[in-house]
Amino acid sequence: MGEEKRGISRRSFITGALGTAAVMSTMGGGLIGCTLENKEEDLTSISTGTWIPTTCNMCFNNCAILVRVVDGVAMEIKGNPNSTVGGGRLCAKGASGLMQLYDPYRITKPLIRTNPEKGIGIDPGWEEITWEEAMGLYIGKLAAYSAEDQRYVAGSSMVSNLGTIYARAALNAAMGGMPETAISDICGSGTHGNQELLTATGNASPDYAYCNYVIQFGIQAGTATRHGFNMTAKMFADRRAEGCKLVNFDPHMSAAGDKADEWVPLVPGTDAVVALAMANVLANEVEIYDRDFLTNRSNGPSLVDTETGRVIRDKDTQKALYWDEDTSSAQPYDKATTPALEGSFEVDGKACKTAWTLNREHLETYTPEYAEKISTVPAASIRRIAREFGEAACIGQTIEIEGYTLPYRPVAVDSFSGVSRHKHSWLSNWACLQLNTIVGSCNAVGGYIGFGPKCNGYSDTSPIKWAPGVWEEDGLINYTSLISPASGPESMYEAVRSGISVPETKDMLSLMPFGMDYHFYYINQKDPATFNNLCVKSKMLIAYGCNPLKWWGDFEDQEQLLKDYEYVIGSDLYLTDASYYFDLFIPEATYLERYDVFEHMFLAHRHLGGIDSKWNFLIRQPVVEARDGCLGNWEFCCEAAWMAGPESNAGFATVLNYVHLIMEHNPLPTDQKITPEMVLDAGYKTYIDAEHDLEWFKENGSYIYPRKADEVYIWADGSEGRVPVYMDIMFEAKEKVGAIVEENKIPWELDDYQPLPDWKPCPDYEITDSDYTIMPIYWTNQSNVDTWSVYNAYLNELNESDPYGYAIEINSATAAEKDIKDGDAISLTNIVGKSVSGIAMTSEAVHPQCVSVIGGHWNSQSEFIPTGKGKGTGIVDLVYGSLNPIRYDHLCNAFDQCVRVKLEKI
C-alpha cells in the first residue's frame, strides 16, 4: 500500500485549521516537540503543538510530565524522560488528567452556602461569590477565631499536595494562628516511624536494583501503590524478570499478589505473628542471622538487666554498656572493641543478657505452628520462606560501589498500610521490618534503604545538606523529616527525653513521641471530656483537597463532627460528599492550570532510594489557562495575605522565607505581594544555583543531580550509627507518659510501650458471635490509588469494565456456603448494627474470612459529581469506633480498620 493511502487513512478526519496561536503557545515552557506550519494540521498528531514540562498531580507522586498543547487545549500527556520522578513513564491515572482538566463537573468559582441546613442530599443552595469576597471571608473568619484561641481553628488535608501546606500554614500564621491538624488521611503511621529508626528517613523500600528476594506484608510497592509507584514499577519489574522473587502476604490477591511469585493469604491484622515466627525460625531454628551486622550496626550487644529489662548504662555518660570480650568487662558501646552479641553476664552484681539474646528468647514463643493458628498461613510455608529469605541474604558478602566496599544483602521485607492501619500498628510494623535487621539488610546494598536519608547537596554549591546523626546514648541513628530538613536531624529518642508533655492539642501527639498521624483529634473534637478536657474543641475547619467525611471511619461519626463546627471552609476541585457540610467553598485550578511550589522539595516523599534515583527538581506550571480564571491554592493564599494588609503580608512572606530555607540566600520581600513564581525562583536559586532559576525551569522542566553512594548507603563513609533491636527508650517513654496521664487523669493505654515487638490482636478479634465471621478489607489497584479515581471519566470507565471494579469480592467457598452467586445483592453488618450493601462477585483470590472491595470509601452520594455517584461500596463506613480510644494505637496514633461483620444475601 502506498504513501497516499496511508495518508488518507491517517488524516481524512483529523484535519483542522491551526492558527499561529496554536503553534506558539504563550503558556511558557520550552519547545520539546516540533511544530508544523501547515495550515491543514493533524491536531492529534504527536508533532503538533507545544510540549510543556510540568508535574502530574493525579496522585501524590507528582511525576514529571510533558503536556502537548494545541491552540490552548491540552491534547496529550506523557512522562518526561528527563526526570527520575517517573522516568518518562505515565500511569493510568496520569494519562487521565485530561478528563479532570476538562471535566464539566469541576467547580471553578467560589460558592457560599445559603441553606443553613447541612446534610447529604440537602441542597446547600450554593451561590457564586467573587474571589475577593471569598478571600475576605477566609481571612476574616480565620482571624476572628484565631484571636479567641488558635485551637479554635482546625485544618484538614491530604498528602497529595504537600507543597501547599506551606502556603496555608503561612497564611494561617499571618492571620494569627496555626490550626490544629485534623488530617483526614489515614497514613502509614506505624510504618513511617519504624522506617525512620531503621533507615534514617520516614520512607524506605527495597533497594530494587540489587534485590533478589522481596517479602511484602500489607503493601503493594512496585506493582501498584506506595510512594513512587511510577518510579518503582520498572526497576522492580526488571529485577523480577531477572529472577528476584516476590512473596506477598495479603488477605487479597491484589496487584502485588497478582505479580508475586508466591501469594500467601492470611487473616487481616496477623502479619506480625507470621513475621515473628519467621524471625524465630531465623534466630533459633536455622540460626541464619547477620552476626557482624547485629554486633556492629545494631544495639543487639546492649547489656540488659534481666530483672528490670533496662539497658545497663555507663554512670557518667549514660551510654549503653556492651560486654567487651577483649577485656571481659562491660564497656560503653563505643569503647568495647570486641562486643559480645550473645550471652549472659554479670555487671555490678546484676544478672544481664545481651539484647539480642533476649530477643532470641522472646521469639521462641512465636512458633510457626502458633502463627499458623492465628494467621492460617501454614507453618511449613513460614519455615520455608524464612529459610529462603535468610539464605538469599548472602550474609557476609560485600560489593564494590563507587570505591566503597559495602555489605551486600539482596533481600528486603517491606510493609505499609495493611500492617499499619490497625491497633498495635507500631509493634506490628516493627515485627515485620525487624527481619531486615536480623539478616543485616538495613541500609545495605540490595537491602532495605531509605528514600533520602542523606544529602550532600543538590549542586556543587548547594547549601542544602542533611545527614541522620546519632543518639549518643545508644549510638542509634536519628533521621530526617519526611518533608523538610529545616530543623535538622530529628530524633524519637530525644522526643522521649524532652518532648513528652501534657497534651494541649487534640491529636495528643505530645504523649506519642513515636506518633505521626492525628486521629486522636477526632475523639477530642467530639468530646474533650474523654481526656479530661485538656483540649478545646475547634469551631472552624479548613478542609483542603480532601474528603474528611469518607476517608477512614464510620461516615456518620464524621458527619456529626462536620456538623459540629460553626464554620467550615472547603477547598477542592469538586463538590464531594463532604461539601454538604461546607459553608464556604473555594475551588482550585487543576494542576495543569496552576503553579505549585516545590512539590518535590527535599524529596523524601517523592524520590526512591537507590543509586540510580538521582536528585531531581521539577516545576509545576500552568500549561493552559485556568477555566474561569480559577486560582490555585498558592495563588489564593498569596492574594489573601496581600488583602489582609501589610503586617499580615509581611508575616506571610517571613514564614515562607523560613520554611523554604531561603531567608539567608534569596529572601522574599516582605513589602510586596508574594506570588508562587517568586517563591519558586528564590528556592531554585537557593537549592541549586543562580543559573537554575524559574525561567530555566519553565523552559527545561527538570534538573537532575547525581546521587552518590554514601548518600544512598548511609554507612558507606564509615559514619557511626546503629539500628534498634531492643527499644530501651520505651521504658522511659512509658514512665513519662504514665506519670502525665495519671496526674491528669487521662485514660491511656501503656501496654505497647515495650522493648521488643509482639503480635497483639485487633479489638474485633474479641468478638465471639458466630454470625460475625467476615472481615471486609479494601485495597487499591493502580488506577484507583490515592485520590480522584471514580470521579474521573477514564478511571470510572476502567472500573466499570472490571467485573470486580465496583463489586464486593467474596471467596467462592464462602459464597457457596451462603448460596451467594455472582451478581447477588449482599449486605455487610457490623457488631453495632451499621450496614452497607453491594453486588457480590465470587473469586479464588480472597481469603475465606474476608470480603474485599477496591477503594473502600466509595459510593459517593454527591449530586454534584454524577460520574462517581453511587459507584462501589463504601465499606469504610463499617469501621466503627472512630471516636473510641480503644480502637487506637496509643503509641503512634494509628486507627484500627479491622472489623468483623455479618454477611447476608439480600
Partner 1 sequence: MSYSMVIDLKRCVGCSGCVTNCKASNGTSPEMARSWVDRSLEGKYPDARRSIVPKLCNQCDNPPCILVCPVEDTTFKDDSGVVLIDKELCIGCQSCISACPYGARKYRADAMGYFGSELTQYEEVAYQNMPENTVDKCDFCMGRTPEGQVPEPACVRSCVAGARFFGTTEEMKGFIDSSGRDSYRLLENMQTEPNVIYLSDFVNTV
Nearest CA to 78 out of 70, 597, 87, 222 is that of: 87
| Cβ atoms within 10 Å of 82's Cβ, excluding its own | 18
Instruction: Name residues contacting partner 1, limited to 204-233 (CB under 8 A).
Output: 212-213, 223-224, 229-230, 233
Encoded one letter per residue, x for contact with partner 1 by CB under 8 A and - for no contact, window 837-856 reads ------xxxxxx--------
Helices assigned H by DSSP within 744-902: 793-801, 812-817
Q: Which is nearer to partner 1, 258 or 472 (CB)?
A: 258
| 811 counts as binding partner 1 under rule CB under 8 A | yes
What is the rounded CA–CA span in Å between residue 344 and residue 342?
Answer: 7
Nearest CA to 423 out of 773, 729, 749, 157 is that of: 749
Q: Which is nearer to partner 1, 236 or 642 (CB)?
A: 236
Encoded one letter per residue, x for contact with partner 1 by CB under 8 A and - for no contact, window 22-61 reads --------------x-----xxxxxx--------------
Distance in Å, CB of 614 to partner 1, minimum: 18
| 13 counts as binding partner 1 under rule CB under 8 A | yes
Q: Which is nearer to partner 1, 81 or 140 (CB)?
A: 81
| 3 counts as binding partner 1 under rule CB under 8 A | yes
| 16 counts as binding partner 1 under rule CB under 8 A | yes
- Residue 356: all three cell numbers together: 539480642
| 9 counts as binding partner 1 under rule CB under 8 A | yes
| 414 counts as binding partner 1 under rule CB under 8 A | no
Residue type, 559: E
Distance in Å, CB of 243 to partner 1, minimum: 5
Q: Which is nearer to partner 1, 223 or 434 (CB)?
A: 223
Distance in Å, CB of 505 to partner 1, minimum: 40
| Cβ atoms within 10 Å of 221's Cβ, excluding its own | 24
Distance in Å, CB of 782 to partner 1, minimum: 4
The sheet that has 50-55: what strands, in order across it? 50-55, 64-70, 73-79
| Cβ atoms within 10 Å of 739's Cβ, excluding its own | 11
Q: What is the dihedral of CA 77, 81, 82, 86, to 10 degrees?
A: 80
Q: Which is nearer to partner 1, 262 or 285 (CB)?
A: 262
What is the rounded CA–CA span in Å between residue 115 and residue 582?
Answer: 11
Q: Angle of helix 379-392 relative to helix 271-280, nearest 10 degrees?
A: 60
What is the rounded CA–CA span in Å between residue 342 and residue 886?
Answer: 38
Distance in Å, CB of 410 to partner 1, minimum: 11
Distance in Å, CB of 701 to partner 1, minimum: 17
Instruction: Say if CB 160 and CB 60 are below 8 A apart.
Output: yes
Q: Of residues 147, 813, 825, 886, which one binds partner 1 by CB under 8 A?
A: 813
| 89 counts as binding partner 1 under rule CB under 8 A | yes
Stretch that binds partner 1, among 184-192, 609-617, 789-797, 876-884 (CB under 8 A): 789-797
Distance in Å, CB of 342 to partner 1, minimum: 28
Distance in Å, CB of 250 to partner 1, minimum: 11
The residues near 280 (Cβ < 8 Å, ≥ 6 apart) are: 363, 364, 366, 367, 368
Q: Of residues 782, 787, 829, 830, which one binds partner 1 by CB under 8 A?
A: 782
What is the rounded CA–CA span in Å between residue 893 and residue 895?
Answer: 7
- Terminal Cα distance for the chain, rounded: 60
| 798 counts as binding partner 1 under rule CB under 8 A | yes
What is the rounded CA–CA span in Å between residue 417 and residue 401?
Answer: 33
Q: Of residues 29, 32, 82, 93, which one binds partner 1 by CB under 8 A?
A: 93
Residue type, 524: N
Instruction: Say if CB 633 and CB 648 are below 8 A apart.
Output: no
Helices assigned H by DSSP within 12-63: 20-23
Distance in Å, CB of 230 to partner 1, minimum: 5
Q: Which is nearer to partner 1, 251 or 489 (CB)?
A: 251
Element (H, E) at 450: strand 448-450
Encoded one letter per residue, x for contact with partner 1 by CB under 8 A and - for no contact, window 360-399 reads ----------------------------x--xx-------
Q: Of residues 73, 399, 536, 709, which one binds partner 1 by CB under 8 A?
A: 73
Q: Which is nearer to partner 1, 261 or 566 (CB)?
A: 261
Q: Of residues 109, 141, 227, 240, which one binds partner 1 by CB under 8 A?
A: 240
Distance in Å, CB of 871 to partner 1, minimum: 15
Distance in Å, CB of 575 to partner 1, minimum: 16
Stretch that binds partner 1, among 98-106, 147-155, 296-304, 426-434 (CB under 8 A): 98-106
Number of residues in contact with partner 1 under rule CB under 8 A: 95
| 781 counts as binding partner 1 under rule CB under 8 A | yes
Residue 262 three-state SS: strand
Distance in Å, CB of 821 to partner 1, minimum: 17
Please report the DSSP string for 639-671 in residue order: HHHHHT-HHHHHHHHHHHHHHTT-TTTSPPPSS
Determine the distance from the C-alpha atom of residue 438 to the mean position of all C-alpha atoms in its chain, rounded to a whole number.
Answer: 26
Q: Which is nearer to partner 1, 56 or 535 (CB)?
A: 56
Instruction: Say if CB 548 and CB 555 are below 8 A apart.
Output: no
Residue 749 three-state SS: coil
Q: Of residues 32, 59, 70, 219, which one binds partner 1 by CB under 8 A?
A: 70
Max CA pair span of the chain: 96
| 4 counts as binding partner 1 under rule CB under 8 A | no
- Residue 217: all three cell numbers together: 506484608
Nearest CA to 279 out of 409, 368, 372, 340 is that of: 368
Q: Of residues 25, 80, 82, 96, which one binds partner 1 by CB under 8 A?
A: 96
Stretch that binds partner 1, among 9-17, 150-158, 554-562, 630-638 (CB under 8 A): 9-17
φ/ψ of residue 125, rounded to 5: 65, 45
Distance in Å, CB of 140 to partner 1, minimum: 36
Stretch that binds partner 1, among 252-260, 555-563, 694-702, 870-878 (CB under 8 A): 252-260
| 265 counts as binding partner 1 under rule CB under 8 A | yes
| 264 counts as binding partner 1 under rule CB under 8 A | yes
| 95 counts as binding partner 1 under rule CB under 8 A | yes
| 106 counts as binding partner 1 under rule CB under 8 A | no
Distance in Å, CB of 44 to partner 1, minimum: 5
Q: Which is nearer to partner 1, 12 or 487 (CB)?
A: 12
DSSP annotation of 261? S
Distance in Å, CB of 12 to partner 1, minimum: 5
Nearest CA to 409 out of 446, 458, 460, 455 is that of: 446
Q: Is 42 exposed, middle or buried (0-12, 13-18, 19+ CB in 10 A)?
A: middle
Instruction: Say if CB 492 and CB 486 are below 8 A apart.
Output: no
| 469 counts as binding partner 1 under rule CB under 8 A | no
What is the rounded CA–CA span in Å between residue 676 and residue 682?
Answer: 10
| 536 counts as binding partner 1 under rule CB under 8 A | no
Residue 357 three-state SS: helix
Distance in Å, CB of 393 to partner 1, minimum: 11
What is the rounded CA–CA span in Å between residue 596 and residue 638?
Answer: 12
Q: Which is nearer to partner 1, 49 or 202 (CB)?
A: 49
φ/ψ of residue 93, rounded to 5: -70, -40
